[in-house]
Chain A
Amino acid sequence: MNHNDFNKLYPRRTGLLTPRNMEKAGYAGLTVLTILTVLPIIAVVIYILVQGAPAISPSFIFDMPRDGMRAGGIWPAIVGTIYLTVGTAIFSVPLGIGAAIYLAEYAPDNRVTQMIRIAIINLSGIPSVVYGLFGLGLFVLFLKFGSSILAASLTLSIMTLPVIISTTEEALRAVPHAFRVVSISLGATRWETIRRIVLPQALPGIVTGVILGLERAAGETAPILFTGAAFFLPRLPQSPLDPTMALPYHLFVISTQVPGMPVQIQYGTVLVLLVFVLGMNLIATWIRSRARARRQW
């Protein structure tokens, strides 16, 4: 093939649309798209900070609401959200991690296991209000827990489980198979192998998944709406069978149900919820990066 044929087959492109220029345009386009996705998040945070910061004070955090919630603090809602998050963790963490260990380490690879896995994936796509109604039917009415922290925590747990199970299973599967073979070749049982090698290696991934799941539980309104959230309570809950106030539901109430609500209390509440959730996020990030720095393989 002589030179002229080559040029005929692969004509050199000229003008603006050279490959080099197209590549540059592509990079620029992707960069703009990335910035566009981050902008709204930054905007939301700044807006809430500006609007909500003036409301924040020790009395706003630690006082009971007064004057039909138009004054005073949001202490019972903060405490309630902490109760609900801890309650959710108590039920969902052991159950979720246990199920994930079974699925990743013990379950035979057959149709039943696949069905379980598909069910779990689908559970995470169910709208949260459906969990709320389910919790109302099962925990509040059938099991007679009433509208309570217990019923709401159980409902939130069911919603959180799929997240915890799938992230934990993924973290377990990321541990190299060779470690298991070596451990077993040294006379360890499967469970000893899991406990001494696999779980410690998977821990950062598990913790991340757990926190992401609990974070979602902490911010949800719909599942607790019928199962344990109270419009207003004059005192803090005394037992797991009491209903409780909670930040997300309180926010809904003071935004739509109370006329003449000072706007800064609303944004103050949003800010507290945001800090709560972002705080959990930060902890997850910190654990992950610390574990990554210590990783030995």
Chain B
Amino acid sequence: MSLFEIYDLTVEYSDGTESLQGVTMNIEANEVTCLIGPAGGGKSTFLRVLNRLNDLADVKKVSGKVMFKDMNLLDPKIDVIDLRRRIGMVFARPLPLPLSLYENVAYGLRTAGERSKAKLDRAVEQALRQAQLWDEVYDRLDAPASRLSGGQQQRLCLARTLSLEPEVVLLDEPTSALDPISTAKIESSILELKERYTFIVAPHSIQQAGRIADHVAFFLQGELVEYQPASEIFTRPRDKRTEDYLQGRFG
């Protein structure tokens, strides 16, 4: 059984922008699944369905079935608070909360009710190490997060998500605003951590998908055009549109 089993997922927004039409796919645990395709194709919508952040958007209609283990994520009655602790998200822009480094990383655990200083300390350190930021900041954890560089901020955001030890981490173009060194660190974190977590990434370039993906899904105007193991899709795309996109004929 796959971790996610998605059947005929359709999402429409009230203002008619980016939508999804009849997406059916399975996503495997402990893999890196990359969603590629031009802007407005539905990648962000897809990610936001998975941890129900779409609840905050002006959605007109959602239909289909999105099974995460034995839970239907489209069911309005599920515990979304718990779900968001199990399926975390990193956004395209580095968005540190207006708190210290430490409090940023501890934020999720604190709202989950963790009070033990020792446990928080340990979780913060582990998350910062996993995001490859610890060595740069261990001596100034009380500084405001906004003092960090953009690349450090984004790794802080990754650490903040990892601190909850979620089962799945969603990354929506996490390196689109970053320098190459920070980008490389985030990519290597993803590759190192995929034994413990499942990653679903909208990469900011096809090249990035090539470096990290196990499976690649190509979205075009809300439609899932092709979904293949990375080695397949890059060498033998089945759909003409995928081939054109990969070769840079549009995008």
Contact = CB atoms under 8 A, between A and B. Distances in A.
A179 B108 contact: no
Interface stretch (A19-27, A120-128, A181-189, A281-289): A181-189
B112 A187 contact: yes
B160 A186 contact: yes
Interface string B141-160: 00011100000000001001
Contacts of A295: 98
Nearest to A180: B56
A297 to B, nearest CB: 5
Contacts of B59: none
A66 interface: no
B97 interface: yes
B144 A179 contact: no
B: contact size bracket:
20 to 34
B97 A187 contact: no
A201 interface: yes
Q: Give the interface centre of A186, A196, A295 by most chain B CB atoms within 10 Å.
A: A186
A197 B160 CA distance: 15
B83 to A, nearest CB: 8
Where chain A touches its partner, the secondary structure class is helix
Interface in B80-106: 81-82, 84-85, 88-89, 91, 93, 95, 97-99
B146 A186 contact: no
B51 interface: yes
Interface string A185-202: 111110010001100110
B235 interface: no
Given A185-B89, A186-B164, A201 B98 contact: yes
A187 B56 contact: no
Contact of A296 (B82, B88, B91, B146): B146
A165 B56 CA distance: 25
Interface string B203-245: 0000000000000000000000000000000000000000000
A178 interface: yes
A179 to B, nearest CB: 6
A129 B107 CA distance: 49
B151 to A, nearest CB: 17
Nearest to B157: A182
Contacts of B88: 185-186
Nearest to B143: A296
Contacts of B51: 185
Q: Give the interface centre of B51, B111, B146, B157 by most chain A CB atoms within 10 Å.
A: B111
Nearest to B160: A186
A183 B97 contact: yes
B84 A184 contact: yes
B141 to A, nearest CB: 15
Interface in A212-240: none
Given A186-B107, A188-B111, A296-B146, 12 more contacts: A178-B91, A178-B95, A179-B98, A183-B107, A186-B85, A186-B160, A188-B108, A192-B111, A197-B98, A296-B99, A297-B98, A297-B146
Interface of B: 51, 53, 56, 81-82, 84-85, 88-89, 91, 93, 95, 97-99, 107-108, 111-112, 144-146, 157, 160-161, 164
Rank and list the top 7 A-B pairs by shortest CB-CB distance, nearest first.
A186-B108, A187-B85, A296-B98, A188-B111, A296-B144, A187-B84, A296-B146
Interface of A: 178-179, 181-189, 192, 196-197, 200-201, 295-297
10 contacts: A178-B93, A182-B95, A182-B97, A183-B107, A185-B51, A185-B53, A186-B161, A188-B108, A189-B111, A200-B98
